[in-house]
Amino acid sequence: MYVSVELVSTTLSVISTVCWIMAQVPQQFENYKNKSTDGISVEFLLLWFLGDLTSFLGCYLTEQLPFQLYLSCYFLFNDLVLLFQFLHYGGRLRLHRPVSWWTLLWTRFVPVSAEQTTTGVRSASVGSIVAWMCTCIYLSSRMPQLVKNYRRKSVHGISPLLFAFALMGNLTYSLSICCNAWMLPFAERSAFLQKELPYILGSSGTVLFDLLYFYQRWMYAKPHDYLVLVEE
C-alpha cells in the first residue's frame, strides 16, 4: 500500500515540477512575440514575485520537502524574467494601493524577523510566519490581473497556458503533499499536515482564481478568437 502511494506522490511531484517549469515560459514567449506587456497587471507580477520570495524563505526556514525548495528557486528566476520583460518593453511600475500595502508589510516584517532570530526564537517559528504570509500573498496575487481583465473586457496579452500550467501545478503540488502525509504513521500525520497547511492552502486556494481567469476568457472571447484557433 505504501509503495503505491509513494509512487503516486512521486508522479504528482514530477508533474507539478514539469508544470511549473513550463508555466511562465508561454507568457515570456507571448511578451516577446507582441513586444509588449500591456495586458499584464504589474501588481500581479509583483505579488507573484513577493509570494515566491516568501515561499522560498518559508521552505528554507521550515525545512520543507526538497522539491518544494527547488521549485521556489526556479519560480524566482522566472519572476525576474517577466519583470525584466515588463520594464524592457516599456512598462511602468505604477504601484497601486494593494501592492504598496504588501510591500510595506514585507519591508516591515524583515527587520522584525531578524531581530527575533537574534533573540533566540527558532527559525522554524519565523519560517511558519513567512509561510503564512506567503499563503496570503498567493491567494490575493491573481486578483489584480482578474480586475484588469474585467475593466478592459479582454484577456489579450495573457497566455492561457500560464494559467493552465499554474492550475495543474497547484493541484498536483497539493495532492503530492497529501500523499506524503498518507505514507506517515497515523500519529504523525496531524503534525505533518499542520506544518504543510500554508503550502496546501496557498496552492489549492489559487485554483479557484485560475478557474476565474478561464471564465473571463470564455466571457470575453470574440468569434475571431475561435476562428484563429481552428485555423491553427
Crossing angle, helix 42-61 and helix 186-219, to 10 degrees?
A: 170
Q: What is the mean pLDDT of residues 219-227?
A: 66
Domain around 165 = 2-231
**98 pLDDT above the threshold of 50:** no
- Identify the residue with better confidence: 64 or 200: 200
What's the rounded Cα separation, in Å, for the pair 91 and 98? 18
- Number of structural domains (the chain) is 1
* pLDDT tens-place string over residues 41-60: 999 999 989 988 887 877 77
> Is the pLDDT assigned to residue 112 strictly greater than 50?
no
Judge if pTM exceeds 0.85: no
What residues contact 57, with CB distance under 8 A and at least 6 apart? 127, 130, 134
Determine what percent of the chain falls in helix, strand and coil, rounding each to the nearest 5: 85, 0, 15
- 207: CB partners within 8 A, 6+ apart: 167, 170, 171
Q: Which three cell numbers stand for residue 222?
A: 470574440
Whether the per-residue pLDDT at 102 is higher than 60: the answer is: no
DSSP letters, 183-229, are HS-HHHHHHHHHHHHHHHHHHHHHHHHHHHHHHHHHHT--HHHHHHH
DSSP per-residue string spanning 8-53:
HHHHHHHHHHHHHHHHTHHHHHHHHHHT--TTS-HHHHHHHHHHHH
d(CA 99, CA 137): 10
